[in-house]
Amino acid sequence: GAVVSQHPSWVICKSGTSVKIECRSLDFQATTMFWYRQFPKQSLMLMATSNEGSKATYEQGVEKDKFLINHASLTLSTLTVTSAHPEDSSFYICSAKWREYAQYFGPGTRLTVT
């Protein structure tokens, strides 16, 4: 149980375009999901907390107009990187809150902006 999927696993896009990343909880309902960014050989940095049916809460320094988060159902949250630039290239990971004490993570999405 507690499986989280992400799609796509790897995406390459041109500078200036937008890309959407999906995060799904496959066998449980997740009222809260989280989006992280991870640079090579570094730890995970929380970008935003996504709550089903309400606006996402962004961490300080994260541009909410650039990283659009939608949590339209109890099993799906999406992250859209708008007008992507090479500096947005990174590994993006989502997680879903399961019960009160654990987060389960998706396999991550590698974004490369050319």
Partner 1 sequence: AQTVTQSQPEMSVQEAETVTLSCTYDTSESDYYLFWYKQPPSRQMILVIRQEAYKQQNATENRFSVNFQKAAKSFSLKISDSQLGDAAMYFCAYRGNNAGNMLTFGGGTRLMVKP
- The distance of closest approach from Cβ of residue 30 to partner 1 in the complex, given in angstroms and rounded to an integer, is 11
**Contacting range for partner 1; rule: CB under 8 A; set: 17-25, 63-71, 82-90, 101-109:** 101-109
Asked if residue 17 lies in contact with residue 111, where contact means CB atoms within 8 angstroms, the answer is: no
Which residue, chain included where needed, has tokens 């630039």? 85
Plot region of 86 (φ>0 → left; ψ -120 to 50 → alpha; else → beta)? alpha
x/- mask, partner 1, residues 52-91, rule CB under 8 A, reads -----x---------------------------------x
9: nearest Cα among 98, 106, 81, 99: 106
Name the residues that contact partner 1, by CB under 8 A.
32, 34, 38, 42-44, 46, 49, 57, 91, 93, 95, 97, 100-105, 107-108
